[in-house]
Structure 1
């Protein structure tokens, strides 16, 4: 059997660990730049606020009652690490699927023992980390995620739902579940399935596997078998290395200064290069794009982009940043106000398995090792002391392109100066 652990309202829960005064209050966590709500407490959901709602569209009466907080990704990452570490010390092998989801191997336990073990695991995680979780248990990952959804939405389950593949209750749950709520079934796929009269998860489970494979491919066929209780999906099937990696942000305020744009592009290029190294890849090209404010009809509009092929496939931040800066120089138009910049690492290849074309002047082995050593030291320092500790180029105090974080909370776990203070007596 497989367990699926999902942290409840994760971003909000992270804040509540260190800000207990938020308990029971409607809380919204904002996107980068404080533009939209990307996470909601149950109280805010009950007020009818949808995920992705722009802050300016919140009704006045809702805004008055709601606590809005800027995202704090270092805090979220550390809380996630603690949840995973606690689970690994308590149960079987753990696979981290996302920042707030994990799969657990629960093989060898009876149904009765599974229920008790999942309840104990849930209790230990909340006691040790302060993060409430819901757990679904089933013979397959897809059914386990169905179980987690039930455990979160139906209080009678007490945060744990164990599903047997062929039990009538499991079939009943699947019969009430829209097919687009199934893990991995996108809305467009749902529209195509609807034309085949497949509207619910149970309809998909009962469909002809060969027909589903012929029309939709092997991935959806595997989902069908998973709904029947067969464990055929591996995380490697889902989390394939990305072929492109994009880093972009809307500016805190518009700017037409080339120096501001250079700093933004340099920052995005460095972040993208780090992600390329993290997945053991190299980039063959770099694309840079700019955008003027789309909703300012009173301003000239411009959305230029340029892709430059790198002299050789690389994960070296220095080469990637240099190429990105050249692309920026080529597309920048003086006199315009820009609201966004981004950099995309294009046409990624596996670093170790890539077939090198020696006719294109590749690095010598000594150069490759030197590059890997420099990048390795840079990444290690940034992991140890925080992102931005080591960068290419300096930083100014008046960076107009930096995003707004007007509702930033203290950095409870990543800054010595902002650790919570306990007073006795």
Structure 2
């Protein structure tokens, strides 16, 4: 119970901050080697599985993608067995079970809940937090070296005790170098989970960046990697020594910033908080089916459901959508692979779930092969704009949800949970543990789902004294 209280109230374990008169010193070090703190959970999905099942601690655990397809997270013990992320489970299942590997379906509800608790705890240790993804966040440090290290170690200890998740911490003058320091902390047990970039640089010199392939530098994608390697730029050190201006002209201002960050110059601004779920350019909802879908009639059920899920995010961030895209595809391993995609431009921007659902279905209505076995479909809401700031000529107003259908769906979902009400198959619930999903034959399969102990009353763990 005490650990649970700590998770919800980080002040219980927050570091004691002494009253200081040298505030100028804090400001002075804000752009020095300790400015950026990156906290990243170790093997997050796999670690979450051990929180309510301590018997899994130290054992090889893998978490699978939608429909129990591929490995997406591995515990340290599973990594030692040579299991690689992205490996299809059916290919290694026999050997994995022989080796004692425990497989779990993706428990998104549990992961999101524990992520929220973890971020809440860490937010009490530094002045500013930017939640970058479900398992990592950037924190801004204004303390000196000794105090910053003490705070990082206390934060790490508090998260482990209060939430049950091990976290690695990298500290550096820039976000890119903090990423490198964080990976160093994960790979070197002697660091005890906290690493400062300036310590790495002093100990290893140029070898620190020389040992990092350019493909592993944050912000360098696969396509850029191929071009860079063709230019003889194969390591992070090679990239650091490039002329930033030439890199900007040859590639982009984003890669130029990466070069500057590798040199210790902070130039990557904070992004929208990932925990808020705000999307500025597009909102995507895509799933693989548990069994192949044939024909437009059945496919339109899924498109309508995905459009409503995307519309839920649209309402949550108070945006309007100007264009709706939909796509579907068969298995890439099939003899005749087929991928179909199309978009519909709305007459006026809208947040009406009925308008968006209809547009998603119309986008593929005349393109579907009635006999093709589609295994994936998705809906994208594009050309987003802020609903409050949207203005245009008279008579060209947005297609607002005048009847409040979207608002009714939102209220019902918050009060009764998802799938209690919706348009078409959007309101048809599954049975048993799948009651929060769509009750259709194509809905996502999770046969090895662990308990959702933080979001389901009927699945709360029982503690025996």
Counterpart of 2:268 in structure 1 is 233
Shift of 1:18: 0.6
Measured in 1, the distance between the counterparts of 2:209 and 2:139 equals: 22
Q: 1:232 to 1:47 in 2, by over 3 A?
A: same
Question: Which residue number corresponds to residue 216 of structure 1?
Answer: 251
Report what 1:73 is aligned to: 108
Describe how 1:106-255 pairs up with structure 2 within 5 A.
Answer: 106-107=141-142, 109-164=143-198, 167-169=201-203, 171-236=206-271, 241-255=279-293
Alignment of 1:293-372 (within 5 A): 293-297=331-335, 303-358=339-394, 361-363=396-398, 368=400, 370=402
1:2 equivalent in alignment to 2:25: no
Return 5+ residue gaps in structure 1 as ranges: none
Q: How far apart, CA to CA, are the structure 2 residues paired with 1:301 and 1:106?
A: 51
Q: State how far apart, in whole Å, the 2-side matches of 1:165 and 1:42 are.
A: 25
**1:418 match:** 459
The 2-side partners of 1:100 and 1:137 are apart by 17
Alignment RMSD (CA, Å): 2.6
Q: Distance in 1 between matches of 2:54 and 2:273?
A: 36
How far is the alpha carbon of 1:224 from its aligned partner? 1.6
CA deviations over 1:229-286 (Å, ceiling 9, x no partner): 2221112399894533332222111233655323211111111222334444322222
Q: TM-score under structure 2 normalisation?
A: 0.82
Contact 1:165 1:228 in 2 (8 A): no
Tell whether the 8 Å contact from 1:260 to 1:399 is kept in structure 2 after alignment: no
Task: Output the CA distance in 2 between the equivalents of 1:384 and 1:5.
Answer: 34
Q: Could you report, residue by residue, the CA deviation over 1:198-234 in whole angstroms, capped at 9, with x for unpaired residues?
A: 2221222222222222222221121122112222111
C-alpha separation in 2, matches of 1:59 and 1:339? 22
Counterpart in 2 of 1:401?
A: 442
Partner of 2:13: none
TM-score by length of 1: 0.89
Q: CA deviation at 1:56?
A: 1.5
Return 226-235 or 187-196, whichever deviates more: 187-196
Structure 1 residues 208 and 301, CA, compared in 2 at 3 Å: closer, same or farther?
A: closer
In the alignment, the residues of structure 2 paired with residue 327 and residue 55 of structure 1 have an alpha-carbon distance, to the nearest angstrom, of 34
Gaps of 5+ in 2: 1-34, 431-438
| Residue 303 of structure 2: aligned partner | 265
The partner residue of 1:276 within 295, 302, 314 is 314
Decide which moves more: 196-205 or 401-410: 196-205
Contact 1:282 1:351 in 2 (8 A): yes
Q: Distance in 2 between matches of 1:166 and 1:211?
A: 28
User: What is the total number of aligned residue pairs between the two structures?
Assistant: 416
